[in-house]
Structure 1
């Protein structure tokens, strides 16, 4: 299932109306410590999407009671956008760069959130992309189409890079997502000489390892940050919400580009994370996105940290 452009625009209109009513995003913040690794989770605002974007392929008679239990509307989704910042020694690392000003009217506040921590774009030394969807990539450039983080080096999974930079992707991805491909190619081409590609399982920086979590996009990566015996996994969109994705990880979601593969990835990841009690940071999970995966009698649950 793909999201028709008119449905996405309708969601954006709802978001604009919400802003008019005073429902503004704020630079929410959480802090985690892994030894001498300092991790902050900051806000890039939020999105507003029609529920059909995710829920249409799902069995509606089973879906609605789960949504009601979680207080989640079947009509509108308003997921937060949580960006991870890691500081260690002389490195200041961002995992994704948010949506920028051109994707959704209530997102694009990453610079304000970083400024609240005393971090400027010039301070960022490294940027690691989980994938190249607009709300993770389009904050890359400034108003003059120059890289917003001028001192940074960039890293992305090899499969993800090859997919979005393939000229055939613009036509093959489908009309509803064609603008995603155009936007990704334009932005990635601006940093082509500064980007390093990595593979599944690779330690791409000290204490940061790549974990292929494909399906949401063809080369989606989660990143495990480890310091001694402590670890946290930056999920990106491999687990995209804190309700249906946990309660029924094997269900097909309309938000995924390869829904069957994404469902298999999600189920396997849930099993691992719950078994190992791994702390997670989810880009679209509730609040600041930090917490744990708990195994329940009939699925999983997200246990958010205060």
Structure 2
């Protein structure tokens, strides 16, 4: 119906190419335009000014000979002031962009190792964007942004990388576990040493208390019972302790204590040994 009344409509974010007898005459902006087809005017086609996106998958290899698939996302749009160049100079815009992306990626990625490729994604994207901007501006297109959205090595390579990472983490975990065991052993040894030290102090104090008690008992008994000597008192104490010990052994039904030497006559030997230990100057 529009052609019947020589009127055409151009949608928003779109421009149209106007020709007259096959020759470019002008660019029609969004809106309604008069197109006198009887005078040779015609509409050659429309060109979108919206930002478009093209994902390009390129296979290449890195410097360490690992084949990878690099996925680049190119966002581009036609410039309104160069709409005629964008429409007439290129027959297939996407193929042209894809060719430039292939060229840049296959000349950039082989210069770096696989690990560096993941770290330098922005540098690769910047190289692709600069090359596309320089090439596509002559055709009336603007490169809005270029992104490297994925770098996919071979499945075997990814498995090997995961195994290397897992081995490194296991090595760190083993070192940490060994350090923890070392600390536990050191702390245990320190605690045992402190415990033995304190036990030694307790035994020393106990023996000192026994000696002091025996000394006080001997001196007190000698004073209160005239005519007795310290030797007599010490023998009496030993005999008393002997009978106390025998009483305790007999009172226990399942006692495993063995008192050696045994017998009342052996008390004299024990007394002599103790007296020799405590009173070395008692014999002439």
TM-score (norm 2): 0.22
Relative contact order, higher structure (CA 8 A, sep 6+): 1
